[in-house]
Structure 1
Amino acid sequence: MSLVINNNLMAMNAARNLSDAYGNLSTSTRRLSSGLRVGTAADDAAGLAIRELMRSEINSINQGVRNANDAISMIQTADGALQVIDEKLIRMKELAMQASTGTYNSDQRLIIDSEYQAMSSEITRIANATDFNGIYLLNGNLSGLESQHDGSGLSATGPLKVHFGTSNDSAEDYYYIKINGASASALGLGHSAADKTTNPNAGKTVSTQELAQQAMDAINDAIISKDKIRAGLGSLQNRLENTITNLQIQAENLQAAESRISDVDVANEMTQFVRNQILTQSAVAMLAQANSLPQMAMQLIGG
């Protein structure tokens, strides 16, 4: 190589190596300080795309877990109200049993019936007042077929749709919670009860001995109807709890996969950092030496 003044090729080579080593050192510093192997698209374009998709899945699944937990809280609210209704039905059967015996006169049965009707009104009040986050649970709004669900408006109608999956597949991502009405009229009790085919007055009142005896059968039917609602809610709660367990496992596995793509291997990156640090220091020293080499030409000129 000729000794020249205008173009210091050794300095240019040392400067290029310094730039490369310093850039690699900067990348290692960024990765170690952030903990991410893939911090920008330039690090791993395909890995970045896969990571972002996984992150969206993980966040959606975690929200699905929260949705399912909210649904469990709602079911527990409805079940708690039905438990109180159960107590009222038991008291109503006790009153019907009391009024059905012949040792009471008409005035006393009317007094018994006044409490019977008060229990009926309280059941209706509980059914109409029980809500979760503004959604009324026992007034019959959530009854009906799954096909009757309509979520196109600001307020959905029909059975309540619990969405916990990351897509919109009915077999995998959501199902419906159907709760029949539990008011006194829906259960066939009290003055507001609908007429029955076989005995239109059964369950409406205990003001006479005959009606009190008929009310006992109507109350039994009401208790069975209420228990069917509670059994359905219990099975839904168990299903939601199993769903939550499955979603948590799924999110955990996706998080592990995302970590393998995105997170930096600290031990390996620290090795690269030390290597790049040494190369940077060496390049700086060699650039300083290369910049001084053209001065040797002065010795020839001076000689």
Structure 2
Amino acid sequence: MALSIFTNASSMASTNALNKSNSLLSTSMERLGTGKRINSAADDAAGLQIASRLQGQTNGMTVAKRNIADATSMLQTAEGAFDEVSNIMYRMKDLATQAANDTNSTEDRASLQSEFDQLNSELGNI
């Protein structure tokens, strides 16, 4: 069996051009599909490294932003509790001042003491 080699230079050039066009088309379709200029290290190794670092920083900033929002919520809750404690303390002061008045009867003082005790109990709940 004889081996024969046929060389057609224009056919080989056309095949190489077609393969290159198909490769470029594949890269373009991948970029269009993902919406990214860099899809692998082969596209731009330095750019991929920079993009990865920036993505890491962005993720870190997102977590920091969430932590700040959580801390803000916690502080707002604490502020609400402090306001409520302050209001209860003012009311307790008013009750103590009112109970010190000599015009109150024993029943009045007992009622004031009962409210005072309830407010004191509420302070423990806060």
- Which TM-score band (shorter chain)? 0.7 to 0.9
1:16-74 CA deviation, whole Å, 9 max, x = no partner? 12211221122122222322110111000111111111111112211211111111111
Q: How far apart are the structure 1 equivalents of 2:18 and 2:65?
A: 51
The residue identity in structure 2 corresponding to 1:31 is R
Written as runs of structure 1 = structure 2, the 5 A alignment for 1:6-25 is: 6-25=6-25
Letter in 1 for 2:51: R
Partner of 1:94: 94
Give the SS at the match of 1:53.
helix
CA deviations on 1:273-294 (whole Å, 9 max, x unpaired) are xxxxxxxxxxxxxxxxxxxxxx
Partner of 2:52: 52
For residues 1-303 of structure 1, the aligned pairs below 5 Å read 6-105=6-105, 108-126=108-126
Residue 121 of structure 1: how far off its partner (Å): 1.1
Q: 2:86 is aligned with what amino acid?
A: D
* Percent of aligned positions that are identical: 39
Partner amino acid, structure 2, of 1:23: S
For residues 97-133 of structure 1, the C-alpha deviation after alignment (integer angstroms, 9 at most, x for no partner) is 112222235564344223212211111112xxxxxxx
CA distance in 2, matches of 1:21, 1:118: 84
Mark the runs of 5 or more structure 1 residues left unpaired by the alignment. 127-303
Name the CA distance, whole Å, in 2 between partners of 1:109 and 1:26: 89
The answer for the alignment partner of 1:283 in structure 2 is none
3-state SS in 1 of match to 2:63: helix
Output one character per residue of 1:218-255: Cα deviation in whole Å (capped at 9) or x when no partner: xxxxxxxxxxxxxxxxxxxxxxxxxxxxxxxxxxxxxx
Distance in 1 (CA, whole Å) between partners of 2:112 and 2:34 is 75
Taking the aligned partners of 1:35 and 1:15, their CA distance within structure 2 comes to 30
With CA pairs under 8 Å and 6+ residues apart, which has the higher RCO, 1 or 2? 1
Moved more, 48-57 or 6-15: 6-15
